[in-house]
């Protein structure tokens, strides 16, 4: 494969999305996989740091609704829910939220098996000299 340029990487349409029927809500929804920045923000929202910067405890309150608020989008791929809407979204049927949460996790590479697979594939073989700025 040819090496990609910065512009080619920036122009790549690499975010996956899916539409799913939600009969309980009377229609369908679109879920978009998180960007790297969104994924990091979501993961950071799940931890409480201690004074020394280490993880003090996990904050799993509304973890499902937090991810869905970032993943549910309209036909123009604009978010349907802001971070301020998490509590209201979390008040919806837990079974529906769980079903959609699992899709959002998969699209964003947040499932345990996705993380393990990425860790196993992260060590790419280098050939030749490596230069970095």
Domain limits, the chain: 15-108
Task: Name residues whose C-beta falls within 8 Å of residue 98's C-beta, 6 or more positions apart in sequence.
Answer: 64
Q: Give dist(CA 119, CA 113) in Å, integer.
A: 10
Q: Which residue has the tokens 């791929």?
A: 77
Each residue's pLDDT expressed in tens, for the chain with a length of 133 residues: 899 999 999 999 889 999 999 999 999 999 999 999 999 999 988 887 788 877 777 778 899 999 999 999 999 999 999 999 999 999 999 999 999 999 999 999 998 776 555 556 544 444 455 454 4
Instruction: Compute the C-alpha angle 100/103/106, nearest 5°.
Output: 150
Q: Give dist(CA 14, CA 89) in Å, integer.
A: 27
For domain 15-108, the CATH architecture is 2-Layer Sandwich (3.30)
């Amino acid at each position: 494969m040819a090496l990609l340029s910065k512009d080619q990487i920036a122009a790549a349409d690499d975010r996956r999305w899916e539409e799913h029927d939600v009969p309980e809500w009377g229609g369908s929804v679109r879920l978009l996989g998180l960007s790297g920045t969104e994924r990091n923000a979501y993961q950071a929202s799940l931890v409480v740091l201690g004074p020394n910067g280490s993880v003090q405890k996990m904050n799993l309150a509304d973890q499902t609704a937090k991810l869905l608020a970032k993943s549910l989008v309209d036909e123009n791929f604009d978010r349907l829910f802001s971070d301020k809407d998490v509590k209201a979204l979390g008040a919806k049927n837990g079974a529906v939220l769980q079903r959609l949460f699992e899709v959002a996790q998969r699209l964003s590479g947040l499932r345990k098996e996705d993380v393990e697979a990425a860790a196993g594939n992260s060590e790419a073989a280098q050939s030749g000299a490596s230069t970095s700025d």
